[in-house]
Structure 1
Amino acid sequence: MGIVSSKLRNSARGQPCTFQIPGICNHDPATTVLCHLPSEVKATATKSDDFHAAFGCANCHQAIDNHILSREESLYYSMRALQRTLHIWVTSGLVFVPADVTRSKPSSKIVARRHIATGETIR
């Protein structure tokens, strides 16, 4: 079993479909669920980790699961949906991405190092 998160699974309720496959998507947030995408964790009767999933309406979910699209189309719409879903999770605080820490200026109390023999400042 992969990583399971009820918070990520429940976050799909009422969300717009992030697949939005033209001609297939029903655009009905009432049918949106968390759709698990293929991964190394996925196997027969085993789903991918919950963070490797996207918000999908009933129609898009069925199209992905039943391999209605070409391999290239399926990969394109799955990756786009994954990116959109991750963006929603990060901006809502469900998934945390550490920010870069800015370094403070060096303390003025630090004395420059000097060469023992010449006394020149070492940079």
Structure 2
Amino acid sequence: MFQKGDSVKKKVDLTKQARGRECTVRIPGICSFNPETSVLAHYRLAGTCGVAFKPDDQQAAIACNRCHDAIDGRIKTEYTRDELKLMHAEGVMRTQEIWRQEGFIK
């Protein structure tokens, strides 16, 4: 149960909410722009995750399968690791704004 002042307004499964949505990572030349493949792609940041656990769902971007594969290193791209991390981080911020507008977080 959430208490007054908690950052999540409603108990909602953000992983499920990510499905069928527009990709917020949008890697040029990689993104499929196919909402049917969208999932929640967690941003790995030191101190917020570990070997056996993922970061909180609020620290994630809605990503199509191609962008998710690129940021996780499953496909080779022309982008550096830092460029991919930046695009992923921007996607996290876009996703957080969507969740705020829809009342899932504040």
TM-score > 0.5 by shorter chain: yes
SS at match of 2:54: coil
Structure 1: which 5+ runs fail to align? 97-123
The letter of the residue matching 1:93 is G
Within a 5 Å distance, the mapping from 1:60-99 to structure 2 comes to 60-66=67-73, 68=76, 69-96=79-106
Q: Which stretch shows the higher mean deviation, 67-76 or 39-48?
A: 67-76
Residues 73-109 of structure 1, C-alpha deviations (whole Å, 9 max, x = no match): 112201210110000000000002xxxxxxxxxxxxx
Q: How many residues align?
A: 92
Cα offset, 1:49, TM superposition: 1.0
Within a 5 Å distance, the mapping from 1:36-47 to structure 2 comes to 36-39=42-45, 40-47=47-54
Counterpart of 1:51 in structure 2 is: 58
CA distance in 1, matches of 2:81, 2:68: 15
Structure 2: which 5+ runs fail to align? 1-10
Residues 48-78 of structure 1, C-alpha deviations (whole Å, 9 max, x = no match): 1111000000000000011743122112201
Please identify the structure whose Cα radius of gyration is greater.
Answer: 1
**Sequence identity percentage:** 38
Cα offset, 1:38, TM superposition: 0.7
SS at match of 1:11: helix
Question: Would you say the 8 A contact 2:15–2:57 is kept in 1?
Answer: yes
Counterpart of 2:24 in structure 1 is: 18
The letter of the residue matching 2:16 is N
SS at match of 1:75: helix
CA distance in 1, matches of 2:12, 2:80: 31
Q: What TM-score, normalized by structure 1, do the two folds share?
A: 0.69
Query: Looking at both structures, which has the greater relative contact order when contacts are Cα pairs under 8 Å and sequence separation is at least 6?
Result: 2
Runs of 4+ aligned structure 1 residues displaced above 2 Å come to none
Question: Would you say the 8 A contact 2:71–2:85 is kept in 1?
Answer: no
CA distance in 2, matches of 1:79, 1:38: 10
CA RMSD after TM alignment? 1.6
